[in-house]
Chain A
Amino acid sequence: MKRGFYRKIAWNNIKKNYRFFVPRILAEMGLLGCFYIAVTLALDERLREIKGGDYIPTFMAMGVAVLVILSSILMFYTNSFLMKQRKREFGVYNVLGMEKRHIGKVLLHEGLISDSVAIAGGIGVGILFYKLCSLLICKLLETDVIVGFYFITLKTILPSALFFVAVDLITYFFNRVSIARMKPVELLSSKSAGEKEPKVKWFLLVIGVLTLGSGYVIALTTKNPLQALGLFFVAVILVIIGTYFLFVSGSIFVLKALKKNGKYYYNKKHMPAVSGLLYRMKQNAVGLASIAILATGVLVMISTTVSLYTGMNNTLDRTYPEDIYLSADYNYGTGERDDSVAVPTDILEEAVRKAAEKNGVEIQYVNPEEYLFVSYYVQDNHLYAESELYAAMGNMEVMAGLREFFFITNDTYERLTGERFDLSGREIACCGISSASEKASDMTGTIYLHGCEYNVKNQFSDFPCSIAMLSNPFSTYGVVVSDQSALEEIYRNQRAAYGDFASKITSRICVKFADRKAAGAAFDSIRKDLREDLSAYVKSQKADPDYLAWCLDCVWDTRVAMLGMYATLLFLGILLGAVSMFATVLIIYYKQISEGYEDRERFQIMEKIGMSKEEVKKTINGQVLLVFFLPLVTAGVHLAFAYPMLKSMLNVFMLYSNRLFLDCALITYVVFALVYVLIYRGTSKTYYKIVH
């Protein structure tokens, strides 16, 4: 045949089927653009040099992994949709004398045209928006924007383009195989065959109810934040399975029940809608369930990352009531265990005050505190050192029962609060600290620790040590012991139990500056002065200053680390949210068109036998509305059930402002719903055009 013949046919087909081709090309462009952006961000070395930019490569690599999965699924989905709609067309070609290999050639040319447009366009979109995205990520990281040029290199263009070429090739071969297997007669008549009324699939229904139910139960009952982290993904998978199964079988179950109810069913408002939905659900349940899950994913990603990012300053204020925490010790290099000596807190305080004065920064107060921090496995009233248990129990089991304890003396308590307990010998006062933990009430009566009996004499709240604010997701307790000797007794006992992994009594000072911002600006210089001062002290103690080990925990360092992590997470959330939104739009669009073509005939018949245009429109509206907003409502319900679990996971990231997360979740939902309505209205127009 003449050269260019296939290309001409292919080109004509694309033009004729623009309703199917154009969205696919746009989707591929968008996906490739996002893919390119994620890959480039991961590889752009300039970003790693930004403060906090070191999280970018890891998180973007995760993003790329998610994009690989999402893009493959979506490309296959749109392709299978396209092929289904065009079956008849291929049948006609076949009947008109085109052999299957000729059809294959047409397909190849169609693919060459549409895919090269999509890939070139996608890289273009990626390059164009990369600048915007790197500006955004710099803005989120609160750094001055990298000036100048685009970051264009084959190193990132090639893998992005190649991945999509690979996906396109696989779909092409998939199509060739399915064409090779088709029979022209079947193709020609494929649409006119009536479809059976769907039956309720009880098996799926039961599994769906069970999986969704257990997913929800996990979400509602998991209180321990650390467990939440692990179980969340179990719950997610259960809910995903449940959503698919219930959309497939539950919808039909409900509709059939409605149909059985004659009074309800034989009504002008219900009859066309119920029977229409019954059929529509059969074909679209999977699509709708996918939308529901994607929507839930968008909501979870955006609401958590936004609340982490916006809540960061609040989190910092909470976890850092003071600006710096300083402890230091030194040794004489003998390598003995008892060789190390702590720098006394008054020396530390003096050094800080001197450095502050030198740098013109005002100090509000300095609090010395002394504590022992140990974790124990708690069972009834017994506290066990964990190393004693690993032999007898599984790792995870021990982890789950582990609690952390801050021990301070009554003197320290008095110094920090102005009050003291009436304690003597092995009498103690207890307090529960982390928000997720059971309050201290479960520490009552006699506590058995290292073979000694301790009497819980008092319960109190508000542990005064600021270190405790940093406590991790384990349930944490604060314990006040009678005096220094009691504290040292516990120290000795736990050292015997834990050996090399034993804790030490920490002496440190908490410093609050009058102006956090000003102090932060001068802090690099303060840090240097402090180091010099403490080195001089170590030297004066006749030790080598190289053996000075200090622990300087300051709010500014933490802020940089947090900002880096949360900003990158937020960006990833936005990027993946955008992609999921793409996917949602695409699925909705294709659903609308395919349904439009199917419904056209039905509504024409209804008009012929005496349904007015208004009534037809109302029926369409009701039906479409329900189908459309079912996923949105489902996503809302999923989010509501996930809420407690997400909240407790955010606690792990030390976000304790529940109000903030609630607001973020609600705002995200509302914004998402608005975007969804816009999409719906846009695609509905196409639908009406097809139906009428």
Chain B
Amino acid sequence: MEILKVNDLKKNYTTRFGGTQVQALKGVSFSVDAGEYVAIMGESGSGKTTLLNILAALDKASSGTVVLDGKDLSSVEESELAAFRRDNLGFVFQEFNLLDTFSLKDNILLPLVLSGKSISEMESRLAPIALSLGISEILTKFPYEVSGGQKQRAAAARALITQPKIILADEPTGALDSQSSSELLRVFSDMNRNGQTILMVTHSTDAASHANRVLFIRDGVVFHQIYRGGCTNEELYKKISDTLTMLRTGRNG
């Protein structure tokens, strides 16, 4: 079942001086099925951040449509946008974006508090998620008291707790050391195995090799994609590296 459908998405920027138009996205189309784990790769400047911002409803496309679970994002009223994002999307950021003034527990519960859930429901949702992410013991701690990996797992818990249709992750391993990275990627794989749809933007080959499918973006279009098929992570890793090499040489040559 298709949960996200992106159709011929274009985004133009007008530069500050002179008014020349820059096309960041030149017609991106792809779709994500429910329960899929998709990685989007591309070099900086390829348009992947622009794409993610549009998917997250933080930015508007110049043309084209994004349909999430049958609902066109552009049809959501401005005033309902915040609530829509809160209820349908989960976010994991490179810089964690946890609030220093909240304990991890309060950080995780914040989206539920914002949508006005009861305390009992909050607690019953929190317990299993915290357990599966291995942060039950440190819930009362504050972000500055725990490691980067723990912070990012708390951020993942915050994304999961609203039971979103899709989790959008923006370079989630970007600020982590390799040990914490692989732990987090394991967490993501577990989440996905439990049926959670994940869309991750990254330029880490290792991170991408955990996904079911990898999309490559270059110069504002989807340039190539790889399906996992029956590959192990290592085999997928190899495939991705080859593709990246090919992309690079293709450009140079």
Interface residue A630 (Cβ < 8 Å from any Cβ of B): no
The residues in A between 581 and 612 inclusive whose CB is less than 8 angstroms from any CB of B are 602, 605-612
- Once A193-B144, A194-B143, A615-B82 are accepted as A-B contacts, the answer to whether A605 and B111 lie under 8 Å apart by CB is no
For A630-646 the 0/1 string (1 means CB < 8 A from B) is 00000000000000000
Measured in the bound complex, the distance between the Cα atoms of B97 and A16 in whole Å is 29
For B81-110 the 0/1 string (1 means CB < 8 A from A) is 111011001010100011111100010011
Interface residue B250 (Cβ < 8 Å from any Cβ of A): no
Q: Are A267 and B113 in contact (CB under 8 A)?
A: yes
Interface residue A276 (Cβ < 8 Å from any Cβ of B): yes
Measured in the bound complex, the distance between the Cα atoms of B99 and A606 in whole Å is 8
Interface residue B1 (Cβ < 8 Å from any Cβ of A): no
The residues in A between 256 and 310 inclusive whose CB is less than 8 angstroms from any CB of B are 262-263, 266-268, 271, 275-276, 278-279
In the complex, identify which listed stretch (B42-50, B114-122, B197-205, B210-218) lies at the interface while the others stay far away. B114-122
Q: Considering the complex, give the chain A residue whose CB is closest to the CB of B155.
A: A609
Measured in the bound complex, the distance between the Cα atoms of B144 and A408 in whole Å is 83
Q: Are B119 and A612 in contact (CB under 8 A)?
A: no
CB-defined A-B contacts under 8 Å, sample of 20: A194-B100, A194-B143, A194-B144, A195-B100, A195-B144, A266-B113, A267-B113, A267-B116, A275-B101, A275-B102, A602-B101, A605-B97, A605-B99, A606-B110, A608-B58, A609-B97, A609-B158, A611-B86, A611-B114, A612-B82
Measured in the bound complex, the distance between the Cα atoms of B145 and A276 in whole Å is 18
- Once A278-B101, A602-B99, A609-B91 are accepted as A-B contacts, the answer to whether A268 and B144 lie under 8 Å apart by CB is no
Interface residue A197 (Cβ < 8 Å from any Cβ of B): yes
Query: In this complex, which of B79, B85, B86, B110 has the most chain A Cβ atoms within 10 angstroms of its Cβ?
Result: B110
Q: Are A610 and B83 in contact (CB under 8 A)?
A: yes
Q: Which residues of B contact A (CB under 8 A)?
A: 58, 79, 81-83, 85-86, 89, 91, 93, 97-102, 106, 109-111, 113-116, 119, 122, 142-145, 158
| Neighbouring A residues of B119 by C-beta, 8 Å | 262-263, 266
| Neighbouring B residues of A196 by C-beta, 8 Å | 142
Q: Are A612 and B83 in contact (CB under 8 A)?
A: yes
| Neighbouring B residues of A275 by C-beta, 8 Å | 99, 101-102, 106
Please give 5 more A-B residue pairs, beta carbons under 8 A apart, in addition to A196-B142, A197-B101.
A194-B142, A267-B113, A275-B106, A607-B82, A612-B79
Q: Are B82 and A271 in contact (CB under 8 A)?
A: no
| Neighbouring A residues of B144 by C-beta, 8 Å | 193-195
Q: Are A612 and B97 in contact (CB under 8 A)?
A: no
| Neighbouring B residues of A615 by C-beta, 8 Å | 82, 114
Measured in the bound complex, the distance between the Cα atoms of B89 and A276 in whole Å is 26
Q: Considering the complex, give the chain B residue whose CB is closest to the CB of A270.
A: B113
| Neighbouring A residues of B122 by C-beta, 8 Å | 266
| Neighbouring A residues of B101 by C-beta, 8 Å | 197, 275-276, 278-279, 602
Measured in the bound complex, the distance between the Cα atoms of B81 and A613 in whole Å is 10
Measured in the bound complex, the distance between the Cα atoms of B99 and A95 in whole Å is 30
CB B126 to nearest CB in A, in angstroms, measures 11
Q: Which residues of A contact B (CB under 8 A)?
A: 193-197, 262-263, 266-268, 271, 275-276, 278-279, 602, 605-615
| Neighbouring A residues of B113 by C-beta, 8 Å | 266-268, 271
CB B20 to nearest CB in A, in angstroms, measures 28
CB B3 to nearest CB in A, in angstroms, measures 19
| Neighbouring B residues of A607 by C-beta, 8 Å | 82
The 6 closest A-B pairs by CB, nearest first: A194-B144, A610-B86, A612-B82, A275-B101, A605-B97, A610-B85
Q: Are B99 and A268 in contact (CB under 8 A)?
A: no
CB A200 to nearest CB in B, in angstroms, measures 17
Q: Are B81 and A608 in contact (CB under 8 A)?
A: no
Measured in the bound complex, the distance between the Cα atoms of B146 and A194 in whole Å is 11
| Neighbouring B residues of A278 by C-beta, 8 Å | 101
CB A262 to nearest CB in B, in angstroms, measures 5
Q: Are B116 and A609 in contact (CB under 8 A)?
A: no
| Neighbouring B residues of A266 by C-beta, 8 Å | 109, 113, 119, 122
CB A266 to nearest CB in B, in angstroms, measures 5
Q: Considering the complex, give the chain B residue whose CB is closest to the CB of A274.
A: B101
| Neighbouring B residues of A613 by C-beta, 8 Å | 82
| Neighbouring A residues of B81 by C-beta, 8 Å | 612
Q: Considering the complex, give the chain A residue whose CB is closest to the CB of B58.
A: A608
Measured in the bound complex, the distance between the Cα atoms of B119 and A688 in whole Å is 32
Measured in the bound complex, the distance between the Cα atoms of B113 and A275 in whole Å is 13
CB A509 to nearest CB in B, in angstroms, measures 78
| Neighbouring B residues of A262 by C-beta, 8 Å | 119
Q: Considering the complex, give the chain A residue whose CB is closest to the CB of B56.
A: A608
| Neighbouring B residues of A194 by C-beta, 8 Å | 100, 142-145
| Neighbouring A residues of B110 by C-beta, 8 Å | 271, 606, 609
Q: Considering the complex, give the chain B residue whose CB is closest to the CB of A196.
A: B142
Q: Considering the complex, give the chain B residue whose CB is closest to the CB of A193.
A: B144
Measured in the bound complex, the distance between the Cα atoms of B99 and A278 in whole Å is 13
Q: Are B86 and A609 in contact (CB under 8 A)?
A: yes
CB A580 to nearest CB in B, in angstroms, measures 32
| Neighbouring B residues of A602 by C-beta, 8 Å | 99-101
| Neighbouring B residues of A608 by C-beta, 8 Å | 58, 91, 93, 97
Measured in the bound complex, the distance between the Cα atoms of B102 and A95 in whole Å is 33
CB A406 to nearest CB in B, in angstroms, measures 68
Q: Are A610 and B143 in contact (CB under 8 A)?
A: no
CB A530 to nearest CB in B, in angstroms, measures 79
Measured in the bound complex, the distance between the Cα atoms of B115 and A610 in whole Å is 9
Measured in the bound complex, the distance between the Cα atoms of B102 and A445 in whole Å is 73
CB B234 to nearest CB in A, in angstroms, measures 35
Query: In this complex, which of B101, B115, B142 has the most chain A Cβ atoms within 10 angstroms of its Cβ?
Result: B101
Measured in the bound complex, the distance between the Cα atoms of B121 and A266 in whole Å is 12
| Neighbouring A residues of B89 by C-beta, 8 Å | 610
| Neighbouring B residues of A609 by C-beta, 8 Å | 86, 91, 97, 110-111, 158
Q: Are B82 and A611 in contact (CB under 8 A)?
A: yes
| Neighbouring A residues of B98 by C-beta, 8 Å | 605
Measured in the bound complex, the distance between the Cα atoms of B113 and A606 in whole Å is 12
Q: Considering the complex, give the chain B residue whose CB is closest to the CB of A262.
A: B119
| Neighbouring A residues of B116 by C-beta, 8 Å | 267-268
Measured in the bound complex, the distance between the Cα atoms of B58 and A196 in whole Å is 32
Measured in the bound complex, the distance between the Cα atoms of B102 and A194 in whole Å is 11
Query: In this complex, which of B81, B93, B100 has the most chain A Cβ atoms within 10 angstroms of its Cβ?
Result: B100
Measured in the bound complex, the distance between the Cα atoms of B104 and A275 in whole Å is 13
CB A620 to nearest CB in B, in angstroms, measures 14
Q: Considering the complex, give the chain B residue whose CB is closest to the CB of A616.
A: B82
Q: Are A271 and B106 in contact (CB under 8 A)?
A: yes
Q: Considering the complex, give the chain A residue whose CB is closest to the CB of B102.
A: A275
CB A623 to nearest CB in B, in angstroms, measures 11
| Neighbouring B residues of A614 by C-beta, 8 Å | 79
| Neighbouring A residues of B82 by C-beta, 8 Å | 607, 610-613, 615
Measured in the bound complex, the distance between the Cα atoms of B106 and A609 in whole Å is 13
| Neighbouring B residues of A279 by C-beta, 8 Å | 100-101
Query: In this complex, which of A196, A268, A278, A613 has the most chain B Cβ atoms within 10 angstroms of its Cβ?
Result: A268
Query: In this complex, which of B93, B98, B99 has the most chain A Cβ atoms within 10 angstroms of its Cβ?
Result: B99
| Neighbouring A residues of B143 by C-beta, 8 Å | 194
Measured in the bound complex, the distance between the Cα atoms of B144 and A195 in whole Å is 8
Measured in the bound complex, the distance between the Cα atoms of B99 and A276 in whole Å is 10
CB B141 to nearest CB in A, in angstroms, measures 10
| Neighbouring A residues of B83 by C-beta, 8 Å | 610, 612
CB A301 to nearest CB in B, in angstroms, measures 38
Measured in the bound complex, the distance between the Cα atoms of B230 and A103 in whole Å is 63
| Neighbouring A residues of B99 by C-beta, 8 Å | 275, 602, 605-606
Q: Considering the complex, give the chain A residue whose CB is closest to the CB of B120.
A: A262
CB A271 to nearest CB in B, in angstroms, measures 5
Measured in the bound complex, the distance between the Cα atoms of B91 and A279 in whole Å is 26
